[in-house]
Amino acid sequence: MTAAERARSLYETYGAPMLRERFPDYEGRVAVGFAGEGSDCFGWDDAISRDHDYGPGFCLWLTEGDYARIGDALNEAYDALLASHAPEAGYNPRLSGRRGARTIRSFYEGILHLRVGEEHFSLSEAQWLALDEDALAAAVNGAVFRDDLGAFSSIRETLRGYYPERVWRRRLAHELRMFSQYAQSNYARSMARGDLLTAGLCRARGTEAALRLMFLLNRRYAPYYKWLRRAAGGLPRLTAVCGELDRVMALPEQSAAWEGYAYDASRVNTADAVEAGFERVAAHFARELVAQGLSSGGTTFLDRLAAELMPEDAPQPPDRERLIGELVRLEWRQFDGVKNEGGRAGCQDDWTTFRIMRTSQFRAWDEPVLASYRRDLLDAEARGWNLLTEKYARMMESTAPEEYARLRDRLPRRSEERLARQEEVVALHVGWNEAMAARYPKYSAGGRPIHTAEDTPYATSSETYLRGELGTYSDETFALYREMILRYRERGENLVERIAAEQARQYGYDSLADAENHLR
């Protein structure tokens, strides 16, 4: 029995009677189902996926008003139900946040990371473009067992209606270009140079772009990357592409096919089975684009076909935004590779929050600082060094001093002058944090503690976090960053508040003040 089947059985056998007996006035006002984050909500739970955040239960979704009246009592009754009829569930804080009673708004906002109203829900084109596709997939998966009121299902059906046409075309054009860049251009260029590592990256990223294209051309939301292949096998269109990609990824490296071969960008090296396989994949997509009336055909080079999809008036992101997007992706790759003693951290699977936090920070930076930090990340990647691992190691000087002592000599050394200037920058940030906390106490309470003196093994202050991050910057990047910070001070601007205002905007609030007013 899958988790979804067990959820329905638990509800129908025990949950429905509990609602009828304990909350008769609300029985028809509570939406019930099984949906949201986790492979079990997609129906993909297996023996491997059950090693974390897994267990019996179902979801109860209420309006804000109803939750204020019965939410606590309903959760108590739900917990008692599980204790009696699914005692093996135990207590898992992450899982408990996904099951039981919660508001409709908190369910959708927790997944989509934008403000959601219970009435007249709609999204602007900019919001559709900003949403992560795996978040949309998680917001509409699973099943709703009952929703007499219709408030939960109304939002769900709006999201299930899929992207607006212009948004869909822009996303489709982007993935066509990604496939073309990795699979049809840079894979061959890397092989011709003998750069097998980069060729391997191109093979993997080209394959991921192809899987995402399958979902877009089926007009289905793509799930989190680790489930792309499994979910793609159940799509109604382009199923043959899965087999082609399986074969491409199973092939050994193809360096022998490039011995004595004269690279020519205008032709495919058919002796390289990977390149030939990608070309067959491209042909599938080219035919599908023609079949859907999206292309006139004539080529299998997907970058050219992408140009036919873009609305003429669709603005391209400015160079600064493209640079910020690249920085976030470079950092995410390194963040994904951070190894923790206690196992993988939950935040390493939360791309949406990571993107919002880092994008908000980078949008407050001057362009020379952004460009210099990009060089730091690329240089570290080329050397096989993880700047995010280094950052967390430096933070351990305060949070875990014994472990830090064992790591200290492996970290790049910083001069006494550099360390003194870092502390000057840290002090300015601490002052800005204190000023913001005084002005927006509720918003600030949801973030890190401010001072290093407040560090614990489980909570790191913003002061310690910044000190760790500054230590990873090259001397050039730090010098540029410090100059920028001093300019903020001279102008009387609060950099911390500016970053927080951008975060609030990305979460759907009009301003920091608006966010403060909505928080409890």
The secondary structure of residue 385, as a DSSP letter, is: -
Q: Is 101 helix (H, G, I), strand (E, B) or coil?
A: strand
Do 363 and 475 form a contact (C-beta atoms < 8 A)? no
Q: Is 34 helix (H, G, I), strand (E, B) or coil?
A: strand
What does the pLDDT read at residue 53? 57
CA 267 to chain centre: 36
Reference 83, options 10, 1, 8; nearest CA is 10
What does the pLDDT read at residue 413? 92
Residue-level pLDDT, tens digit, the chain, 520 residues: 788 889 999 999 999 999 999 999 999 999 999 999 888 888 777 666 665 555 678 999 999 999 999 999 999 999 999 889 877 655 555 566 678 999 999 999 989 988 887 777 888 888 898 889 999 999 999 999 999 999 999 999 999 999 999 899 999 999 999 999 999 999 999 999 999 999 999 999 999 999 999 999 999 999 999 999 999 999 999 999 999 999 999 999 999 999 999 999 889 999 999 999 999 999 999 999 999 989 888 899 999 999 888 755 555 556 788 889 889 888 888 888 787 766 667 677 777 788 899 999 999 999 999 999 999 999 988 888 999 999 999 999 998 898 889 888 999 999 999 999 999 999 999 999 999 999 999 999 988 999 999 988 778 999 999 999 999 999 999 999 999 999 999 999 999 999 999 999 888 888 889 989 888 7
Pure H helices in 218-300: 228-232, 239-250, 273-291
- For 383, the token pair is 């050397």
Reference 354, options 97, 166, 113; nearest CA is 113
Reference 170, options 267, 373, 36, 312; nearest CA is 312
Burial class (CB in 10 A: 0-12, 13-18, 19+), 408: middle
What does the pLDDT read at residue 156? 93
Give φ, ψ of 101 to 5 degrees: -90, 135
What does the pLDDT read at residue 341? 67
Give φ, ψ of 59 to 5 degrees: -110, 140
The whole-angstrom separation of Cα 30 and Cα 58 is 12
What CA dihedral angle connects 176, 178, 182 and 186, to 10 degrees? 100
The whole-angstrom separation of Cα 263 and Cα 188 is 8
What does the pLDDT read at residue 383? 86
What does the pLDDT read at residue 347? 75
Angle 62-68-69 from CA coordinates, rounded to 5°: 95
- For 210, the token pair is 């192809």
The whole-angstrom separation of Cα 485 and Cα 162 is 43
Domains of the chain: 3-160 (no CATH), 165-306 (1.20.120), 319-518 (no CATH)
What does the pLDDT read at residue 427? 96
- Which bin fits 506, alpha (ψ -120 to 50), beta or left (φ > 0)? alpha
What angle, rounded to 10 degrees, do the helices at 165-179 and 273-291 form? Answer: 160
| Alpha carbon separation from 414 to 379, 394, 411 (Å, rounded) | 18, 12, 9
The whole-angstrom separation of Cα 78 and Cα 384 is 49
What does the pLDDT read at residue 251? 97
Q: For residue 221, give the H/E element and its range.
A: none
The whole-angstrom separation of Cα 399 and Cα 388 is 16
What does the pLDDT read at residue 99? 86
Q: For residue 45, give the H/E element and its range.
A: none
Q: What is the pTM of this model?
A: 0.65
Pure H helices in 86-224: 93-96, 104-112, 125-130, 133-139, 151-160, 165-179, 187-193, 196-217
Q: Is 32 helix (H, G, I), strand (E, B) or coil?
A: strand
